[in-house]
Structure 1
Amino acid sequence: MATKTSATTGVQRCLTEIRQMIISGDLLPGQKVHQGEIAEVLNVSRIPVREALSTLQAEGVLTYKANTGFTVSRFSGEDLAEIYLMRRLLETEILRSIDLSTVDVDELEALNEKLSALSSSDNPDEYQDTNHEFHFRLFAYSDLHLVTQEVQRLWYMSSFYRSLYIQAADSRLRVYEEHIQMMDAIRNGDIEALIEISNEHRRSTEALVTQRIGFSRPR
């Protein structure tokens, strides 16, 4: 049992570290992922690395070809538009399933204040992690656990591209202010306002990212 637990922990660590390499841009879209190099960097055997890469392939974060191996997935604007469409549909259902009166808004506020104190350029990894924690702490109030897991997968798939948004000059203030609007809607028990603000929050990211990669979806 201890060996199994240790192996699981090793795979989970590899998953976390490889995801962070993609989010930070250490591994770029289209770049080949070398199992041996990753194992050496993480000071682990190739076994947990291989299992982690297989998991990331299942999530859509990596692509596998027999003659090439694993590469970081490269998305077109059309692909990203579909990812954001799925996010909108699924996140809306998650929010509708939450009893807003049970949400600890003070906890969300503390996370948002922590976010505002971070620099998206100097501390991009911590900034992304804190922003992720804000949203998924709210989603945790839903009983739609499988849906939330799917949204988690979609976030990982687009993590590198979403990082382009937070580098924009005015994005950090916009994220902070839109989080405040979301918390106001929660305090007021206004689910429709929360959904609309969340949609706008997502749209602004999608619009900038798709523009950066040369695709603009017709509205």
Structure 2
Amino acid sequence: MAAPSRRTLVKEGASAERTVRELRNQILQGRLLPGEQIRQEEIAEQLRISRVPVREALSVLASEGLLTHRPHQGYFVTKRSPEELAQIGLMLALLEEELTRTIVWPTEEFVAELRSLNADMERLVDEPEWVDMVAINHQFHLRIFGLSPLNLVLDEVRRLWMLADAFIAIDYATRERRRQTVAQHERIIKALAARSRARLLKSFRDHRDTTNVGARAGMAHGG
């Protein structure tokens, strides 16, 4: 059998990226529900692509924690109990607090980059397709936590954020909460620019208290 051409590989790679984005959006917007099975042939037909990039996309989403692979059964949207979500929220609160205590103060250029990310989020607040806010929010927070020298702690926080993104999306379901998030980010940016550790810690605590991944996700699932 002849090896796939470079053009075919590039096309399949682009299709896989598009599939990852489409499935991630469907999960984050609640169109694919926790516990629901992902059927490869249906996704391939829906997106008019072969099953090869679909399999690749499912593997990527499983590595992010959005999907769970069961041998001989297939892929399912990850379903977590309120207790598990509470543990994710607890670990994030503890680890993010330590990262915030140890960050190195950023340059003016870095602060400007954060303002630009938050402006991108603000532009999406009133849009029907607001789901890209979740990825920008993820980038905003991880950029700040990346200022800490605690690399191992940061790696664990990155892993937990992947698990939490779908439930942060639940929190963004209302325009009011999306607008509140942008305002809270602005307070975080101002604290960074002022190089005030106390203000920064308080801003992050207030932000976590209103997001509270574990509690809000539990309520969304009837917990």
TM-score, scaled to structure 1? 0.79
Aligned residue number for residue 151 of structure 1: 157
Aligned residue number for residue 196 of structure 2: 190
Superposed CA deviations along residues 73-121 of structure 1, whole A, max 9, x for unmatched, are 1122111111112222333344344322336222222322332232356
The one-letter code of the counterpart of 2:179 is: L
The percentage of aligned residue pairs carrying the same residue is 35
Matched, 1:59 2:67: no
The one-letter code of the counterpart of 1:133 is: Q
- State which structure, 1 or 2, has the greater radius of gyration over its C-alpha atoms: 2
Partners of 2:147 and 2:17 in 1: CA distance: 24
Partners of 2:27 and 2:116 in 1: CA distance: 27
Change (3 A) 1:145 1:41: farther
Q: Of residues 78, 81, 93 in structure 2, which corresponds to 1:88?
A: 93
Between 140-149 and 109-118, the greater mean CA deviation after superposition = 140-149
Aligned residue number for residue 34 of structure 1: 39
Aligned residue number for residue 171 of structure 2: 165
Given that 1:15 and 1:53 are in contact with CA atoms closer than 8 Å, whether structure 2 keeps it comes out as yes
Partners of 1:79 and 1:100 in 2: CA distance: 34
Q: Of residues 176, 181, 186 in structure 2, which corresponds to 1:175?
A: 181
Between 27-36 and 90-99, the greater mean CA deviation after superposition = 90-99
* Number of residue-to-residue matches in the alignment: 215
RMSD: 3.1
Shift of the alpha carbon at 1:68?
3.0
Between 147-156 and 68-77, the greater mean CA deviation after superposition = 147-156
Partners of 2:190 and 2:168 in 1: CA distance: 25
Change (3 A) 1:191 1:49: farther
Q: Which runs of 5+ in 1 are unaligned?
A: none
Q: Which runs of 5+ in 2 are unaligned?
A: none
The one-letter code of the counterpart of 2:93 is: R
Write the mapping of 1:133-144 to structure 2, written as runs, cut at 5 A: 133-142=139-148
